[in-house]
Amino acid sequence: MIQFPKPDVEQFFQTYIIRSFGVSSDESRLVFSTTLSGKFNLWAMDLKGGTSYPFPITYNDQMCSFIKLDPQGRHILTAFDRDGNENYQLNALRWNGGEPMPLFEGASPDDKHEFVHLSEDGKRIYYTTSKDNPNFLNSRVYHLESKEDRLLVEGKDTTTEMSAVSPDEKTIAITKMYANTYYVSYIIREGGEEVCLTPSPEQVHTSGNVQFLDNENVIFTTDFDSEFTYMAHYNIKDGTFKRLCEIDRETVSSLRLHKESGTVYIVTEKGVEDHLYAYALGSGELTSIPLPSDILDQLVVTRSGNLYILGRGAVKPSNIYRYDGSSWTMLTQNVMTGLTEDDLVAPDVVTYDSFDGMEIEALLFRAKEHTANGYTVFWPHGGPQAAERKQFRAMFQYIIAQGYNIFCPNFRGSTGYGSSFVKLVEQDWGEGPRKDCLAGMEWLFEQGISSRDRLFVLGGSYGGYMTLLLAGRNPEYFKAAIDIFGVSNLFTFYNSVPDHWKPIMEQWLGDPERDRERFIKDTPITYLDNMVNPMLIIQGANDPRVVKAESDQIVEALQAQGRDVEYIVFDDEGHGITKKANEKVAYARMVEFLNRCQ
């Protein structure tokens, strides 16, 4: 019997990311954005006629924000950015791919386009753009044949995005953003009349995910007068609002309508997992549909009633699945070469009490006994209004394979635990969430899982900010820190975010003049003198959210103090590490750093 050696850790890199997908109207073709070649490109699979095999249809090595296949099979619509700058711009592709063609000649490289809707005949594309209005955005309709580009809604006072279009294209839905926890949806009739879908737009709440049932009725998600988001209905003719479907302690995150059967497919978040339901509009019956994955990233419902999802789990990389009403079929075969799920580590879901008695849910990945080195990596997630969930991260599995535990708390401000909980981080980035993190560290110490001399902190984005803040305010809790594109200075961050973020910054973070003392207290670089532990900092040069200057300034300040700091900048990345070659460099350096600092 041949005895194979244990899998080499390099094998943990041998998977790819799938970011988005589209399905042709006859379900014969699947197109998806993936790093199958090492960088993001569009690939396709023909689903009918025997064995399907993926083939590339672009070679531009860029990420896209959506994929929409023409109903008549003439072309593909999509939008690409440039090396992570997030300035997605509308492009068309031939049906079999090739060189993407920009829809708008001479568009500024700073323009951003967000796809909303393609007309039933495939002739008109509705979109939201930063062109001529970078702070508040404009909504437009573009005629693909005549090239007429007409303004529909000009954003004023706050960021305004189009979200849906009625079947007769005489009514549109828009959403006005005031904060991540305060956005309100309206419908606008052909004459320009603007009507709010919820009873009181002045009340802080959310409403979005608008779907037109017909020209007079819409469904949408909202947490109006509720702790958890539910599905609501609005009759445009009568002006009546009603709650339609609430699921106990679950947050409705998206809706997809199948008009032919009168069914709404509902995706919900419950802590660290997603759930899927079918809701019958006629009877009100709600049916649970078991998922093949823990997290559902995208859902498409075809005319035939088949469901297509992009899903992943803690030990399952991203894959696209089809549901025919009775069972799921995995269409893509994204697996880790030479490894099985038994070689990977699934997390335990644990809870602990924070400094004020609030219960915090967390994921604990325990290194396998034969590899465990006794050290733990503490991971504060990004967002901050997001959550760490049962989602596949090659980085996690690679670090765990080296013998490290990983602990991921969903501190106050995390999504999936109710409207009140997610608001707790607003204008309090550095106090409550930081104390939740410290309580999580204390829990690890009490459980004997880790200790102050066997703990590291690693985080990205807001998690990078929290890593830096902990390094300055609480360095005695851990040995070393790794910051990935984290905010180092709240004052400079406030003024450098993308233009369309600026209207929501006060509710989210505060005002740098009015809240000056709090900004100073919650800014990591304030505590530079206390940052005595070794630090590795990683940054994408094209990051539009946390710009490179945020990392530059903390690195330069630490170097001036003679501190142990390593700095890696990827010239072809933005707010994330998306290219396979860069992933390998970054992850290998991270583990080398952790091993060196033991």
Cβ proximity of 353 and 439 under 8 Å: yes
DSSP, collapsed to helix, strand or coil, labels residue 554 as helix
Cβ proximity of 396 and 436 under 8 Å: no
- Tens-digit pLDDT profile for residues 221-271: 999 999 999 999 999 999 999 999 999 999 999 999 999 999 999 999 999
Closest of 231, 255, 251 to residue 243, by C-alpha:
231
**What average pLDDT does range 367-394 have in this prediction?**
95
> Residue 580's pLDDT is what?
87
pLDDT of 3 higher than 90: no
Residue type, 269: E
Closest of 467, 460, 345 to residue 405, by C-alpha:
345
> Residue 9's pLDDT is what?
63
CA gap 584, 14 in Å, rounded: 10
**What average pLDDT does range 24-35 have in this prediction?**
96
Q: Tell me the pLDDT band of 8, cut-offs 50, 70 and 90.
A: low
pLDDT of 191 higher than 90: no
**What average pLDDT does range 356-371 have in this prediction?**
96
Question: What tokens were used for 474?
Answer: 């609480």
Q: Tell me the pLDDT band of 30, cut-offs 50, 70 and 90.
A: very high
- Tens-digit pLDDT profile for residues 100-125: 999 998 889 999 999 999 999 999 99
CA gap 570, 291 in Å, rounded: 36
> Residue 53's pLDDT is what?
87
Cβ proximity of 177 and 201 under 8 Å: no
Task: Choose the weakest-confidence range: 14-28, 219-233, 334-348, 412-426.
Answer: 334-348
CA gap 390, 392 in Å, rounded: 7
CATH architecture of the domain covering 341-596: 3-Layer(aba) Sandwich (3.40)
CA gap 570, 55 in Å, rounded: 28
Task: Choose the weakest-confidence range: 20-29, 89-98, 186-195, 366-375.
Answer: 186-195
Q: Tell me the pLDDT band of 147, cut-offs 50, 70 and 90.
A: very high
Residues 6 or more apart whose Cβ sits within 8 Å of residue 461 = 382, 383, 484, 485, 486, 545, 546, 575
> Residue 6's pLDDT is what?
61
CA gap 301, 256 in Å, rounded: 7
pLDDT of 74 higher than 80: yes
CA gap 517, 402 in Å, rounded: 42
pLDDT of 218 higher than 70: yes
pLDDT, mean over the chain: 95
Cβ proximity of 19 and 64 under 8 Å: yes
Question: What tokens were used for 300?
Answer: 């498409």
Residue the block writes with tokens 């279009």: 165
Structural domain boundaries in the chain: 341-596
Task: Choose the weakest-confidence range: 200-204, 330-334, 337-341, 551-555.
Answer: 337-341
Dihedral through CA 80, CA 85, CA 86, CA 87, nearest 10?
A: -70
Cβ proximity of 468 and 485 under 8 Å: no
Q: Tell me the pLDDT band of 50, cut-offs 50, 70 and 90.
A: low
DSSP, collapsed to helix, strand or coil, labels residue 154 as strand
Q: Can you give the three-state secondary structure of 227-256, one letter per residue? A: CCCEEEEEECCCCEEEEEECCCCCEEEEEE
Cβ proximity of 561 and 528 under 8 Å: yes
pLDDT of 150 higher than 70: yes
pLDDT of 151 higher than 90: yes
Q: What is the pTM of this model?
A: 0.95
Cβ proximity of 241 and 197 under 8 Å: yes
Quote the strand ranges of 38-123, DSSP E.
Answer: 41-46, 55-56, 64-69, 75-80, 89-94, 101-102, 113-118
Residues 6 or more apart whose Cβ sits within 8 Å of residue 563 = 531, 532, 534, 535
> Residue 1's pLDDT is what?
74
